[in-house]
Amino acid sequence: MPKEDTQFSTDNQPKGRGKAKKSLMLDAIRAVCVDEQEFLKQVVTIGLGDAINEVAPNPTLLTLVLNRIEPPLKSVTPTYKFDFDPEADLHKQAKQVLDAMAKGEIPSDVGQLFITSISSMLNIQEKTDFEERLKAIEDASKQD
């Protein structure tokens, strides 16, 4: 197969390529509604129901509309105080967290979050140390 056949150009495009689903949906909305305001009015009407036209309320649609207007708040973990030395070795920090969990100073899910974070820090430290040692070896081998 010649190379020209495999390169895309204005004349050579993949077959079956069409509009994205989002574009198709917007085209369908534009065919029914004059503008965005009319579309939103129809969505709210369907969500709340329409007694005059005997349209039953659609709770799912109403929930979607309300979540767009006022998204639900994301949960935030409360602040806890316990003995923690950020300068200690990572294994000692993990022990501090386990001790705080055992004493009931922090809940287990928060303790697990700490332990996971400490583990990630250990992985970063190991990779950084490895890269530094490798660079030192490469530099030493270049000098020989």
pTM of the model as a whole: 0.47
3-state secondary structure of 54: coil
- Stretch among 25-34, 101-110, 128-137 having the lowest mean pLDDT: 25-34
Q: What is the pLDDT of residue 4?
A: 62
Phi then psi for 55, rounded to 5 degrees? -105, 120
Whether 1 has a pLDDT exceeding 60, the answer reads no
Nearest-CA neighbor of 80 among 64, 102, 101, 66? Answer: 101
Residue 123 tokens, joined? 């992985």
The residue ranking higher by pLDDT, 144 or 43, is: 43
CA 106, 112, 117: angle at the middle one, nearest 5? 110
Q: Which residues contact 84 (CB under 8 A, 6 or more apart)?
A: 93, 96, 97, 100
pLDDT bracket for residue 114 (50, 70, 90): very high
Whether 8 has a pLDDT exceeding 70, the answer reads yes
Q: Which residues contact 115 (CB under 8 A, 6 or more apart)?
A: 94, 97, 98
Burial 78-107 (b: 16+ CB within 10 A, else e): eeeebeeeeeeeeeebbebbeebbeeebbe
Cβ–Cβ < 8 Å for 78, 113: no
